[in-house]
Copies of this chain bind each other. A is one copy, B any other.
Amino acid sequence: MKNFIEPRVLKGFRDFLPAQEIERRHLTEIIEKNFRSFGFVPIDTPALEYADILLGKMEGEINKQVYRFADNGGRDVALRFDLTVPFARFCAEHYSELVLPFKRYHIAKVWRGENTQRGRYREFTQCDADIVGTKSLATDAEIILLMRQTILALLQGGGITIKINHRGLFNRFLSELKLGEKSADVLRAVDKLAKTGEEAVMENLIDISGKAEAEKIMRWVKAKDLEELIALTGGPSDESNELGLLFKYFTDAGISDAGQNGSSLVLDPSITRGLDYYTGIVFETFLNEMPEIGSICSGGRYDNLAALYTKENLPGVGASIGLDRLIAALDALQEKQGKPANQTGFADCAILCSNEDDAGKYQALAKRFRDAGLAVTVFTEAKKPVQQYIQAEKQGIPWVLTIEETGLSLREIATRQDYKDLSAEEAIKTIKK
């Protein structure tokens, strides 16, 4: 007996069958359409880069997760683990070719050797949008409005809450508590609030700063509005003014309840974002009907994107949608709402094969339908009609067309209804209805 190589994929990697891939394409098309409608343009960068470029200032955790190896020429290379670092390198390398402010999007796969037990994948898709080359707070507002519009378009019903904070204001508060040096630890501790709960965060904060400071931090984190934050930081500051102006932008943009509880855009002082490079506005996005799945879109402002690679200063603001988590959320939502299963094909119609020698004629007929904007698959084996109907049903094709002596006949698969003696024009009309 022959020995076969067992067909299998690596742990944390996935095949996408047509029903899944059609959904993925559909969602990325919506994302792209919305990104383009805001004037963002696409770029692409290599999957593989020099390791020193990608790992420049990364320590520990991420470094261990990177797929890094020596290529056939002995170069130290790695697969990209996000789209931000390659974008920073890209901006430095092509600085003279960019017209600033530069609004770009990038939808692509990234790779991390993460622990798959937490339900994470080792290959996943990120959808990033960034505006670089300006400190204007109006671009912070634009990124958030872009993501709000995009996620709402993806959801097709159902609400979201984008929780917004200002890292600079938080840092100012921590400086006043003389905790400036420990701010990274504090931010990381607070970042876990939604996941681990108040008690665990409080314990952690006590370890970092002692009980009295921990209580102050927790009061800040739980502040109800901007006024309270201003009071806790000892009066207005540049950062609190920015937060105020940001919400004014949202109101002016037509989001009448921005900042209020229940709005899609609210202030939440507990949002800190794990990543080090954010310096200003930060935000995370939650589905109202499924907050437990965590943020499906996050972002924020950074001071200087490409500092590792160039002396040019590139402030900017960006955000990223995690396609895989989004799909998990949408699938769970659909299950809740009892929505129909995924589309399994694109064909509007199949042409039945009565005689294999007529394959050319079937193609000629298919062309007329395709020219009319329909997607048509041609069956090529002269099995019994009922078998061909079953094939159409399994492949999600709603209509089957048969060439009869008296004209065309159409079967609607779902209802098993037949339409007889049609001209091509009539058949096209019937399918389009």
Contact = CB atoms under 8 A, between A and B. Distances in A.
Contact of A138 (B49, B251, B346, B378): B378
A151 interface: no
A141 B363 contact: yes
Contacts of A375: 36-39
B7 A145 contact: no
A79 B78 CA distance: 12
Nearest to A3: B308
Nearest to A44: B16
A24 B8 CA distance: 32
B252 A380 contact: no
A10 B48 contact: yes
A367 B253 contact: yes
Contacts of A298: none
B381 A136 contact: yes
Nearest to A1: B311
A431 interface: no
B39 A15 contact: no
Nearest to A376: B39
Given A48-B123, A71-B67, A360-B141, A380 B101 contact: yes
Contact of A363 (B14, B252, B345): B252
Interface string A13-34: 1111110011011000000000
Interface residues of A, number: 111
A395 B97 CA distance: 11
Interface stretch (A87-95, A178-186, A199-207): A87-95
A380 B134 contact: yes
A192 interface: no
A77 B39 contact: no
A231 interface: no
Which one of A46, A356, A374 has the highest number of Cβ atoms from chain B below 10 Å of its Cβ? A46
A241 B420 CA distance: 36
A294 interface: no
Given A21-B43, A73-B113, A361-B252, A7 B123 contact: no
A99 B50 CA distance: 43
B97 A17 contact: yes
Contact of A18 (B41, B56, B67, B101): B41
A137 B2 CA distance: 29
Contacts of A377: 38-39, 103
Nearest to A53: B5
Contacts of A89: 7
Contacts of A141: 359-360, 363
A347 interface: yes
Contacts of A21: 41-44
16 contacts: A4-B311, A9-B45, A38-B378, A39-B346, A39-B377, A48-B123, A103-B377, A134-B381, A138-B362, A139-B380, A142-B380, A145-B363, A251-B360, A252-B360, A252-B361, A252-B363
